[in-house]
Structure formats: C-alpha cells, structure tokens
C-alpha cells in the first residue's frame, strides 16, 4: 500500500440503501438499546415465552424463543424478539420485525426510524428531539457505510490485482504499515457504538476527501495569528518537522514572522466553518489567511489526526467540527489536553524506565509540541512524533484493526501472526494478552493510573527480529489518576501532574480506575478479541476467557507478592457477577448531561455487563 497514492473515488451521494446494510444497522441499534437498557426497555419490561404470545399478535415465525414486552412507551405495547446473550448484555436482538400493539392493531416494525420513534413515545419534546436526531444519525451511518463498503470492495480488488510481494515489502516500513492498517481498521465498526460509521458533519464528498476509508492525500491550509494570542507548548525551532512552513512558503510576507505565528487548519474546517468562527470569536480582523497550502498529509484512523507524508514520523492532530461516536463527541481540541497529554506521557515513560516487567516493551509517542489560539478549541494542533529509532522494520497495527478483514479473505490478526508468529494466532494472542494485562494492571494497582488507551490509541508493534511483542500508546490526555495515592507513594511522579489542567483526570478513589480498566482494557481491547478469535481458533469463548482469568490471577499474584493491594481488582474482575459498562449511546446521544450527571460523555457507566471472567 502506497501512502502517497490517490485513489479514484466514484461519488454515489444517493446510493440506494441495500437490505444487508439496513439490517446490519438496525440490529446494531437494537442491541445497543437493549444493552444500555434505554428507557428501561429491559429492566422495566416483561419477558414472555414465544409460546405464550397473545393470540392477537398472530402466529410469529421467528427464531426467538423469548420476547420482551415493553408496556410503557406511549399508549401501546412494544414487543421485541430477543435471545439470550452473555457478552456485555443479557439479551440481544433475535431479528426483525418488532411489533407495535395499539388499539387492537398490530404493526410490524422493520425500519430503524419507526423503532426509534416508539422508544421516544411519551417523552417531552426536548427529550424526544434527541431520539429524532439519533434517527438521522442512523440514516447517515447507513449511507456512509454503503459508500465505504463500495470503496473497500474497489480497493481490495485493486490490491488483489497488484504484485503481492511488492505490497508486503512496502508494508515493512513502519510508517506505511500503520497507515495501511489504519485504513483496514476504518472499515471495521466500533464494537459497541451502533452508528460508528456516521461522521456527523461530513457529506459524501467530504467523507471521500478526508475519511480514512479512502485515505486520499491532501494539503493543509494555514492561518497567521498574532503571537499575543498564540500559546505554544514548545519552542518552534527545537525538533519540529523540517517540512514545517515558513511564511513565504504559504504566500505571506516573511516579515510577518516577527509578529505572527502559523497555525495549520484542516481544509474541511477552512472551507466551511472557519470564517463564521473567526467572526464570532472576534479574531476575524486579527488573522490572515495564507493563500497557499502546505504539507501533504493523509488521514489516519482518528480522522482529525493526519500523517505528514514528507515527514512520516510525525502525525498532526487538528480540530474538526465533525462528531463521531455520538452527537456530543465533537472532534475539536481542548487547549488543556495539549500539555496534559504530554505530562501523562512523560509520567508513563518514567514508570516504564523503573519497571523491569514492561521496560523495553512500552513505546510512547512524544506529544510535547502543541499550540492553541486564545483558548479556542477550533484553532490549535498537537504534533505527535513516533519513536522512529525504536521501530526499525516493525509492523504497527492498531488494536482496532486486528479483527478487520484483509484482501486475502482473512483477518489482520492472521496476517500479523503469519508474518511474525509463524502463523500461530494463539501464540500472538498469548503474547498480546500477557503484555496488555501486565502493563495496565501494574499502572492501576501500583501507581493509581488507568489509561483510556482504547483500540485506536493502543498499537501493536511486531517484528520478525524482535523476540517479543511491544505496545505503543498515544493520545493519553484522558486518563484517570488517583493523585493522592500517587503522591503518597511516588511523589516524584506526582509532582509534574499537579499542574494538570483537566480536573476530570484526577480522582479521589479507586472505583474510577476500575471502571476505566474494565471498560477499555478488558472489554474493548481483550474481550472483543476473544469473541472473534474463539471460533477462529476452534475454541468456545469460555475457554479463552479462562485463559484471560488465569493470566489476570497470575499478574495479581505477582503484584500481591510484591506487597501491592490487589483485593479490589480481584473482586471487580473475578468475583463480582456484573462488570462496569460504558453507556455510550445514552451519554453521547440520547440524554443531556443534566440527565446523566456525567462530566464526560465517554465515561458514563452502568454496572450491568455479565462478568465473562467469573468462574461458572
């Protein structure tokens, strides 16, 4: 895969919704509604055996042996066919249709809009509007998925028609490999958020131009801002990319360097909302738009982070006015995250240096360079430098991409195992499991740190020459840290973190650490893999979960032997019947913060997930 290649894109803005795409989105939405018990659709409902369905519903040919009867959505009764589940929820959708029973009439519900309308019945106008907006999000997810899947088919056919040996050789450059696997991962949905394909704010042309599914190169735009409102976290001349422009490069007088600084702007923001935002902020007459673009980049899995193609060890995170994983998840950059992320990264580096069990196996991106303009979330950037000297001929694969299909018909995890583990997927999983658990349990129990190192921010680093797998972590500005605990035990590490700007990072008890570890490391980064790898390895999921449990118990025993208190971790992970779970859909889309009380829409938790680690 050539990171510089520009794929031809056939625009299909009004492509018809294919039945498989429609069914796929509807069932994901139904599973999420049941998983998060939206409007008490499970806890406030009644389970009815199929044999006991009222005669008024007619004979129902369905695989479901159980129906959920929901009587409190407006003036009728909603019937949902379900089947028993064990991963993340007790009940999941058994298919379509749902039934709406009202005034002696029974209506079959197939369309996601009709189903969501029933879930919003009886709500206030303001509350119902959030459900109506989610219906629009579902339509966009359906549309974006159809377009992206068409591009995947085209790209895969192109790759299959090229020389496979050349593709493999090219992918050995680490920076090309991460772009390649980013793109593969972009076609794989988020495991839990049902409409993750929707990039709210992008139309079809913008998706093709700037989405990682298409990974087309483009050039950045530049804004000259007065230095009086420009706040940079590092000296511009010290180690910045050599390709960073001067004023003359972008068509502005070189003399402006004395009074102004250049700020990169994503072309989508430049073409759409920038002018209005500058007027609203009072900056319109104080800044200068550079007439020429500079720096050729390609989008990564995170969309708003782009790779500098002429300086591939550098990635650049830019504000975007799109929303992903929920209507409230707008992808701007909070100024506080610029320095917070760097402080946490430096702390992780110091911990890795003193811990033999992870020394040499934890890699970190350097995120010390960043800037913002007058505390504005829409003007700023973070420069992320990869440790090129540590990567050599390694292959870099985001955890989010491990289960993605490849052009050969297998999965990325099989491709990685074939390249670096002699084809032994089981051995790869064992290595990955050991390092992931040792790292994150150590951080939690010994240091009081839990990272939001989700599937996108955790990158597997493998090489034919290195004896063991390594993990690379990036974007660590949303951790949870028990600062008092860290201060008592490790004052040298705690001192720099006293200046953290985002007050949500510091916590005063262990529970938030347990919630973060469970919902990110255990569920997203391990359990999601177990569910897919078990059939691939010819094993029941329970067998793999037993291995996960045994590895956790081994790590906890090592930590306890070193004098650490592991009682809470053992109770939460092994003994409790239920695990914490993120209610992503409720917090990020279906409810206001005033209703959830969540300071962060990405950290609103329930406690309803069945514990797949608990011995039977």
The CA distance from 245 to 290, in Å, is 11
Q: Nearest to residue 118, comparing CAs of 78, 164, 61, 156?
A: 78
What is the average pLDDT across 49-78? 87
> Is-contact 539 532, C-beta < 8 A?
no
Q: What is the CA radius of gyration of the chain?
A: 25
Q: Say if residue 16's pLDDT is above 80.
A: no
DSSP states of 5-45:
--------TT----HHHHHHHHHHHHHHHHHTTGGGTTTTS
Over the stretch 422-459, which tens digit does the pLDDT of each residue have? 999 999 999 999 999 999 999 999 999 999 999 999 99
The CA distance from 293 to 229, in Å, is 22
pLDDT band at 420 (very low <50, low <70, confident <90, very high): very high
The CA distance from 616 to 611, in Å, is 10
DSSP states of 403-423:
T-B-TTSSBHHHHHHHHHSTT
- Token pair of 237 as six digits: 């001349």
Over the stretch 470-512, which tens digit does the pLDDT of each residue have? 999 999 999 999 999 999 999 999 999 999 999 999 999 999 9
pLDDT band at 460 (very low <50, low <70, confident <90, very high): very high
pLDDT number for residue 2: 35
> Is-contact 381 371, C-beta < 8 A?
yes
pLDDT number for residue 238: 66
pLDDT band at 10 (very low <50, low <70, confident <90, very high): very low
What is the average pLDDT across 179-194? 97
Q: What is the mean pLDDT of the chain?
A: 92
pLDDT number for residue 282: 94
The CA distance from 9 to 155, in Å, is 10
> Is-contact 239 376, C-beta < 8 A?
no
- Token pair of 525 as six digits: 């980064």
Over the stretch 197-245, which tens digit does the pLDDT of each residue have? 999 999 999 999 999 999 999 999 999 999 999 999 876 666 789 999 9
Query: CATH 3.30.310 spans which residues of the chain?
Result: 1-162
Q: What's the pTM value of the predicted model, to 2 decimals?
A: 0.94
Q: Distances in Å between the alpha carbon of 474 and those of 189, 196, 400, 460, 600? A: 21, 21, 14, 12, 20
Q: Say if residue 163's pLDDT is above 80.
A: no
The CA distance from 135 to 376, in Å, is 31
Cis amide bond preceding 97, omega within 30? yes
Query: CATH 1.10.510 spans which residues of the chain?
Result: 399-610
Phi-psi region of 360 (alpha: psi -120 to 50; beta: other; left: phi over 0): left
The CA distance from 129 to 140, in Å, is 17
Q: Nearest to residue 456, comparing CAs of 528, 512, 511, 388?
A: 528
Over the stretch 406-418, which tens digit does the pLDDT of each residue have? 999 999 999 999 9
> Is-contact 217 4, C-beta < 8 A?
yes
Q: Nearest to residue 299, comparing CAs of 459, 182, 405?
A: 182
Q: Say if residue 3's pLDDT is above 90.
A: no
Residue 20's CB is within 10 A of a number of other CB atoms, namely 11
Q: Nearest to residue 381, comparing CAs of 424, 327, 333?
A: 333
pLDDT number for residue 51: 86
Residue 600's CB is within 10 A of a number of other CB atoms, namely 14
Name the H helices within 161-173: 164-171
> Is-contact 524 455, C-beta < 8 A?
yes
Task: Decide the pairing of beta strands 46-49 and 66-70.
Answer: antiparallel
pLDDT number for residue 236: 61
> Is-contact 320 579, C-beta < 8 A?
no
Over the stretch 581-592, which tens digit does the pLDDT of each residue have? 999 999 999 999
pLDDT number for residue 1: 34
pLDDT number for residue 19: 80
Identify the architecture of domain 399-610 in CATH. Answer: Orthogonal Bundle (1.10)
What residues contact residue 104 under an 8 Å CB cut-off, 6+ apart? 56
pLDDT number for residue 540: 95
Q: Name the 3-class secondary structure at 505.
A: coil
Q: Say if residue 164's pLDDT is above 60.
A: no
Three-state SS sequence of 41-98: CCCCCEEEEHHHCCHHHCCCCCCCCEEEEECCCCCCEEEEEEEECCCCCCEEECCCCE
Q: Name the 3-class secondary structure at 119.
A: helix
Residue 162's CB is within 10 A of a number of other CB atoms, namely 12
Identify the architecture of domain 1-162 in CATH. Answer: 2-Layer Sandwich (3.30)
> Is-contact 102 76, C-beta < 8 A?
yes
Over the stretch 571-610, which tens digit does the pLDDT of each residue have? 999 999 999 999 999 999 999 988 888 888 889 999 999 9
The CA distance from 62 to 458, in Å, is 41
User: Hey, which residues does 371 pair with through a beta bridge?
Assistant: 232, 381
Q: Say if residue 170's pLDDT is above 80.
A: no
């Amino acid at each position: 895969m050539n990171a510089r290649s520009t794929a031809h894109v056939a625009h299909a803005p009004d492509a018809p919704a294919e039945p498989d795409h429609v069914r796929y989105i509807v069932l994901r939405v139904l599973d999420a509604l049941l998983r998060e018990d939206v409007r008490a659709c499970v806890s406030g409902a009644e389970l009815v055996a199929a044999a006991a369905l009222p005669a008024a519903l007619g004979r129902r040919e369905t695989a479901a042996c159980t129906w959920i009867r929901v009587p409190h959505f407006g003036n009728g009764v909603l019937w949902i066919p379900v089947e028993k589940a064990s991963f993340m929820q007790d009940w999941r959708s058994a298919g379509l249709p749902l039934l709406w029973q009202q005034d002696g009439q029974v209506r079959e519900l197939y369309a996601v809009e009709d189903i969501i309308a029933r879930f919003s019945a009886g709500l206030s106008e303001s509350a119902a509007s959030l459900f109506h907006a989610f219906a629009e999000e579902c339509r966009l997810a359906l549309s974006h998925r159809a377009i992206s899947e068409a591009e995947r088919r085209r790209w895969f056919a192109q790759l299959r028609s090229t020389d496979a040996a050349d593709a493999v050789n090219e992918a050995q450059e680490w920076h090309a490999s991460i772009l390649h696997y980013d793109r593969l991962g972009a076609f794989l949905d988020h495991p839990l958020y049902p409409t993750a394909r929707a990039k709210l704010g992008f139309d079809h042309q913008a998706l093709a131009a700037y989405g990682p599914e298409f990974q087309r190169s483009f050039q950045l735009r530049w804004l000259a801002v007065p230095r009086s409102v420009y706040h940079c976290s590092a000296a511009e001349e010290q180690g910045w990319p050599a390709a960073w422009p001067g004023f003359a490069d972008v068509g502005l007088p070189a003399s402006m360097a004395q009074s102004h600084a250049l700020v990169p702007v994503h072309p989508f923001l430049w073409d759409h909302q920038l002018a209005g935002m500058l007027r609203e902020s009072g900056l319109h007459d104080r800044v200068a738009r550079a007439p020429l673009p500079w720096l050729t980049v390609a989008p990564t899995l995170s969309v708003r982070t782009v790779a500098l193609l002429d300086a591939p060890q550098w990635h650049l995170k830019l504000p975007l006015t799109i929303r992903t994983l929920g209507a409230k998840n707008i992808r701007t950059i909070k100024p506080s995250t610029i320095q917070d992320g760097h402080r946490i990264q430096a702390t992780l580096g110091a911990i890795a240096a003193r811990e033999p069990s992870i020394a040499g196996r934890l890699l970190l991106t350097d995120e010390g360079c960043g800037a913002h303009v007058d505390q504005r979330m829409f003007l700023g950037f973070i420069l992320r430098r990869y440790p090129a000297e540590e990567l050599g001929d390694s292959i870099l694969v985001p955890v989010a991409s491990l289960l993605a299909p490849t052009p050969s018909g297998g999965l990325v995890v099989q491709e990685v195992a074939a390249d670096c583990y002699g084809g032994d997927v089981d051995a790869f999983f064992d290595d990955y499991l050991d390092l992931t658990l040792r790292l994150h349990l150590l951080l939690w129990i010994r240091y009081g740190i839990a990272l939001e190192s989700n599937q996108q921010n955790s990158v597997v680093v493998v090489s034919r020459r290195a004896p063991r797998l390594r993990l690379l972590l990036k974007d660590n500005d949303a951790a949870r840290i028990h600062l008092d605990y860290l201060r008592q035990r490790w004052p040298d590490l705690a001192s720099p973190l006293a200046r953290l700007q985002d007050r949500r990072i510091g916590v005063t008890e262990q529970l938030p650490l347990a919630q973060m570890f469970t919902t990110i490391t255990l569920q997203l980064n391990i359990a999601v893999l177990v569910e897919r790898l078990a059939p691939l390895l010819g094993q029941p999921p329970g067998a793999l979960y037993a291995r996960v449990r045994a590895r956790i118990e081994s790590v906890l025993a090592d930590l306890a032997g070193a004098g650490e208190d592991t009682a809470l971790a053992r109770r939460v992970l092994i003994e409790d019947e239920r695990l914490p779970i993120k209610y992503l859909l409720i917090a990020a889309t279906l409810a206001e913060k005033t209703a959830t009380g969540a300071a962060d829409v990405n950290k609103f938790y329930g406690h309803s997930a069945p514990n797949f680690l608990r011995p039977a």
